[in-house]
Amino acid sequence: MFTQLKQLPADPILGLSVKFKADSNANKIDLGAGIYKDETGHTPVLACVKAAEQFRVDKEPSKAYLGSAGSAVFNEKMTALILGEHKVIAENRIRTVSTPGGTGALRVAGEFIKTCTPGATIWVSNPTWANHQGVFTAAGLNVKTYPYYDYENNCLDFEGMLAALKQVPKGDAVLLHACCHNPSGMDLSKEQWQQVADVAKQVGFMPVVDMAYQGFGQDLDADAYGLRLMADTVEQMIICSSCSKNFGLYRERIGACSVIGQSAISADIISSVLLSVVRVLYSMPPAHGAAIVETILSSTELTNQWHGELKEMRDRINGMRQLLVDKLASNGVTRDFSFITSQNGMFSFLGIDKAQVQQLQDKYSIYIVGSSRISLAGISSDNVDYLTKSIAKIL
């Protein structure tokens, strides 16, 4: 059986990390990995997380299964974090299950959609997170794209996006990034979210909102604005969320898949199907990360501490955006990179071509995805001069 296998290419982002680790250049910079790093290049464990873990060590009574839905407390706290005091919670129209990270939430969503409508199509932005298409294809969905980013002008192609969404067949699903769009960093404004929500209601497509970076853009509530507006407008939608970035729980693999139905009765039916999907995918979700999150969100003291640490991460990334633009200008780069400061989250496109991306890697040990997407979290005050001088040379 195995003799028929052929070598597959490495994931472009994960493969870049392997090359970076093998590079002996003391000045090397990794701008490919989508993971938060502090000023020293380290991905720290948040202090609130350490406190919650200690509490878990002291208080955890058992290692028994929690059930396919995961922790009821975690699911309740995550629903409130995502939606705030939204009417769908009061109306008992939403059901949430714990998942192995945000990727697991997306796969559960894909399998759920396929169960509802075999052969269904989901539309994703062009560009979108590199793994979206693979996850949904593996779940048995057809994947199509709608315009999103204008590479020539380094801005949102909202006219193209809206025109395409108006043509989506009724019953298809449309994936939307709640905030901190990966890979462009370009988010919808409040007015644009309203137009997209109106089109979703008029056309009748199913919104699937991926929120992997809540709190990394403006703040927890502002980053959820579009998602909550969409829930105000349509009767049914799916939300995939992750605790990897905002809680720094990357390796714990904890996220959630939430589905809103038309009524409480509909939500109960949805729940039964979600649990059936989970049962055959991974049976039970991991518990440790969920316990950390629910412990933090159940404590006023730890929640306040988390808010402070989250703001520190957000402010550092935003600061690196401005510093990068300033340093490029001071190092003689005449091209306008000011668009970087108008974006949100960890990512942006530099707008250089693949040959220049390769030059940065070969000559200067600066690792960037071929599309020129960079992770701002990989920049620091120590390496920004080397980075910007290198970019100036290849330009």
Residues 13-24 have a mean pLDDT of 88
Backbone angles phi, psi at 323, to 5 degrees: -65, -40
**Catalytic residue, candidates 28, 37, 77, 245:** 245
Backbone angles phi, psi at 258, to 5 degrees: -120, 135
Condensed to tens digits (0 to 9), the pLDDT of residues 156-177 reads 999 999 999 999 999 999 999 9
Condensed to tens digits (0 to 9), the pLDDT of residues 197-222 reads 999 999 999 999 999 999 999 999 99
Condensed to tens digits (0 to 9), the pLDDT of residues 315-349 reads 999 999 999 999 999 999 999 999 999 999 999 99
Statement: residue 33 has pLDDT above 90: no
pLDDT level of residue 12 (50, 70, 90 thresholds): confident
The model carries a pTM of: 0.96
**Catalytic residue, candidates 30, 77, 123, 129:** 129
Residues 55-69 have a mean pLDDT of 95
- Is 193 marked active-site? no
pLDDT value of position 9 = 84
Long-range contacts of 39-47 (CB under 8 A, 24+ apart): 39/316, 39/380, 39/381, 39/382, 40/380, 41/378, 41/380, 43/248, 43/250, 44/248, 45/248, 46/247, 46/248, 46/306, 46/309, 47/305, 47/309
pLDDT value of position 10 = 76
Residue 15 C-alpha from the chain's centroid: 20
Condensed to tens digits (0 to 9), the pLDDT of residues 85-132 reads 999 999 999 999 999 999 999 999 999 999 999 999 999 999 999 999
Query: Domains along the chain?
Result: 2-44+314-394 (3.90.1150.10), 65-298 (3.40.640.10)
- Is 245 marked active-site? yes
Strand 255-260 vs strand 366-367: parallel, antiparallel, or unpaired? unpaired
Amino acid at 184: S
Statement: residue 11 has pLDDT above 90: no
Structure tokens at 322: 């401005």
pLDDT level of residue 57 (50, 70, 90 thresholds): very high
pLDDT value of position 8 = 87
Condensed to tens digits (0 to 9), the pLDDT of residues 262-281 reads 999 999 999 999 999 999 99
- Is 210 marked active-site? yes
